[in-house]
Amino acid sequence: MAILCDGSYFDFFKFVDGRPAGNAPQFFLGKFPDGSLRQRIAVMNPDDPKDFLRQTRLLCESLYFVFLSGYQAGLEAYWNRSVERSKDTLRESTPKWHVAKVSAEKALEEAKSAWNLRQEDKYEESEESAKRALQFLVAR
């Protein structure tokens, strides 16, 4: 994972899974839940507490999404490695990695749903979706 910030926007990048043999790892530009490729870092009005909190929350939610995406990608990589190593012998860890990977995928989907619901001003539904995302992470 990588985050690039120019002071006004930030972008994030992820490794491409499954690179060709002998080639260097490749990055691709990540997408936020609303489909955008960049997240604006808004100029906040320190005299307006509501505006400050709204903009700070959006920034925190964006970073949470980026880190959760990285967590899910890491679990995916560990699971793939475990599957590859278990071709000749049964590994006890492989099913555990799979359960963790699936749980992280579900958490990421719920987090995306919470993001989109919040953008639609559906605050209660967004909060419920965010709680479900947390439950998937805790269950992992």
- Read off the pLDDT of residues 48-85 as tens digits, 9 standing for 90 and up: 888 777 777 778 888 888 889 888 888 888 888 888 88
Domain that holds residue 23: 2-139
User: How far is residue 53's CA from residue 37's CA, in Å, rounded to a whole number?
Assistant: 23
- Report yes or no on whether pTM surpasses 0.85: no
Cα separation values, 97 from 7, 60, 103, 138, Å: 37, 28, 10, 15
Give the chain's domain count. 1
